[in-house]
Amino acid sequence: MTTIVLLPGMDGTGTLYAPLYKALNGRCRLIVVTYPVDQALDYATLETVARTYLPEDEDYMLLGESFSGPIAISIAASQPPGLRTLILCASFARNPRPSLAGFRHLLPCLPVRMAPLALLSYLLLGKFSTAEWRQLLTSALAGVSSDILKARMRSVLLADVRGKLSDIKVPVLYLRATQDRLVPASAHKDIQKCLPSTELYEFDAPHFLLQVRAKEVADFIAAYRRH
């Protein structure tokens, strides 16, 4: 059975993947990494945490969602034993919104806890938003402090691991959500320029691709692993 190690989005709680678990239906083993909710850690330290979840005695696929893309890229670039495929989902190798880099100095002042649910729903779910998805989003963010969210936002604004892409020796798949309002298409193009062998697969979905299109993604991964 193929093992998938999933590195989560910015909340880092790992609580948003029940649909994917269900859709995989035993075809793959899913290991979901969780990040500490009581420490404001940078990408390098979160990578150390993520590495503790990597299997030591079996092959696996590494799936980096959104915020965790740079971590997944860095791990894959180190060519760990057992890694067979890198999957990047609605993610990036560098700050996907370069024009916002200067706003990192304002992060300490931002009332991130006061961000309206309607805005988050618009960015993450778009037209696919439902009361159930909004509740799951609210629950996931409720357990993460403002300081931690700000630290992770800062990490994204400073991110740039494009230089590591050429060191990756396994197949790289990029899952793009065509209705993504958070990570633009240019994020994939950045990766493609540095690693032309990257394979692009598109889904009619919002930023929450793994949640809204769980069955399609599960079917895709199950089929790909048989190649």
pLDDT tens for the 227 residues of the chain, in order? 789 999 999 999 999 999 999 999 989 999 999 999 888 899 999 999 999 999 999 999 999 999 999 999 999 999 999 999 999 999 999 999 776 555 544 444 444 444 556 777 878 888 888 888 888 888 887 778 888 888 888 899 889 999 999 999 999 999 999 999 999 999 999 999 999 999 999 999 999 999 999 999 999 999 887 55
Beta carbons of 7 and 71 less than 8 angstroms apart? yes
Q: With CA atoms as reference, report the closest residue to 71 among 34, 107, 124.
A: 34
pLDDT confidence of residue 110:
46
Q: How many other CB atoms are found less than 10 A from the CB of residue 206?
A: 26
pLDDT confidence of residue 116:
54
Tokens standing for residue 208: 């929450």
Tokens standing for residue 2: 């193929």
Strands (E), the chain: 2-7, 28-32, 60-65, 83-89, 172-177, 199-203
Q: Is the pTM of this model over 0.85?
A: yes
Q: With CA atoms as reference, report the closest residue to 182 among 151, 160, 156.
A: 156
Domains of the chain from N-terminus onward? 2-224 (3.40.50.1820)
pLDDT confidence of residue 40:
86
